[in-house]
Amino acid sequence: MKILMITNHKYEPDIRIRREAEGLVGAGHEVHVACKGQYDSEPTGELNGVDITRICANSKVIHNIAERIYAATWYQPVWLLKLREILEKEVYDVVYYHDIEHAKLATKLAGWYDLSTVADLHEMYPQSVEFWRESLSLTSRLDPKFFLTPRWRLQRLEKFAVNSADLLITVSEELLDYFKERYKFNGISGVIRNVPDLDRLDQMSVEDLDYESSFVISYIGGFTPQRGIETAIETMPELLRSIPDAKLLLVGDGNDNYVSSLRNLCIELGVSDSVEFTGWVDFELIRSYYSASDVTLIPSASDYALPNKLFQAMAFKTPVVVNNLPTMSRIVHQTRAGVVFDDNRVLHESLLKLCNNEELRQKMGERGRKAVEAKYNITDELINSQNIFNTLSSNND
């Protein structure tokens, strides 16, 4: 099949989308990715057999106008013109879009050119947008495009994305079940998890970060409200009374307003000396931070989240401590690679137990690694992805 893949993000840094695109190329499909560009980026390119078109307005004025048209209609005119140009040049079989931002546009194009539509939905989008908006400044919240996209419109867009898909893909069984039940979807579907490339992780070097004297609890990933990072900070005052050398290591970055609110929370709770913000770190250094961690905390507040960092931690033999949400808790219970907490009291008790039991931490780490080697790795997931697309191809024949 010849596949036009659409993502509203930059292609090269998005490891999950890159792996899917390259995996489809490896299975014999042709893949052209249309992604977000910027003013100084090359408009076209190629990477590991994947053709790339980077879409960007040629001025800030046009960009702002196009974004407001999008907010009112769900059709982004700059993207519409560029995608039609791509589809006029070559014959495609499938339009494959990630998340719902371009659901209307992708489905309209598929109808015009008689193509199958694949919707790859990574999250409950209306919920995630509400969390994200919490981190915005008052000025940003006054932007007209936010008034044009209330939750009920986002919910309708999500319903449209699910019900118009010829193939529906999600990151977890629970999220897929949610979409099927809520929107009565009974078409072709599959789950493609966001799992790590073990070969790449194992080739990373390890630097000594000099945290040996501390009990290190890490959070490694993006900083947004739906990640639940406040939970990690809020448990520190009581934890420090039991474990004076505890250190919360927050590795990553995000919106300036949100990061400032986290720093202010540390000051308010009197734990600033025991919480370290590293800022953004290069992905190649990530193994060093997991190696320095006694446990890693994933306090996500998104109901069906299944982040790659869960499997990264398991791959690096770092015990995981996760919120009691359906998908992550299932994985942790099945693999016995960590512990699940319901509230701050249970979180405190769990961390205290792990601090005092090095042997338990080691066993959890070993079990996590075995689970990733056996099931939660990119090699097995690419086979799964190929089987899902073969089902779509067979259905179209």
pLDDT in tens, 230-250: 999 999 999 999 999 999 999
Region 49-62 average pLDDT: 93
CB-neighbour burial class of residue 306 (10 A; exposed 0-12, middle 13-18, buried 19+): buried
Task: State yes or no: pLDDT of 273 exceeds 90.
Answer: yes
pLDDT interval class at 397 (50, 70, 90)? low
Task: State yes or no: pLDDT of 87 exceeds 80.
Answer: yes
| Domain boundaries of the chain, sorted by first residue | 2-194+378-396, 198-374
Contact 318, 295 (CB under 8 A): yes
pLDDT at 376: 95
Region 273-287 average pLDDT: 94
| Mean predicted lDDT score pLDDT of the chain | 92
Contact 218, 292 (CB under 8 A): yes
pLDDT at 301: 64
Amino acid occupying residue 158: E
Fold agreement (2-194+378-396, 198-374): yes
Q: Which residue has the tokens 């799964």?
A: 384
pLDDT at 302: 73
Domain 198-374 in CATH 3.40.50.620? The answer is no
Percent of the chain with pLDDT over 90: 72
**DSSP at 223:** B
Task: State yes or no: pLDDT of 276 exceeds 70.
Answer: yes
Region 315-342 average pLDDT: 95
Contact 83, 105 (CB under 8 A): yes
Percent of the chain with pLDDT over 70: 97
Contact 347, 235 (CB under 8 A): yes
Task: State yes or no: pLDDT of 318 exceeds 80.
Answer: yes
pLDDT at 135: 66
Q: Label the pairing between strands 167-170 and 246-251.
A: unpaired
- Alpha-carbon separation of residue 261 from 137, 223, 265, 389 (angstroms): 11, 11, 6, 44
Superfamily classification of domain 2-194+378-396 = Glycogen Phosphorylase B; (3.40.50.2000)
pLDDT at 306: 87
DSSP string, 247-304: EEEEEB-B-HHHHHHHHHHHHHHT-GGGEEEEE---GGGHHHHHHH-SEEEE----TT
C-alpha torsion sign, points 160, 161, 166, 172: negative
Half-sphere exposure of 165 (CA within 13 A, CB side): 33
Region 96-106 average pLDDT: 93
Region 205-233 average pLDDT: 91
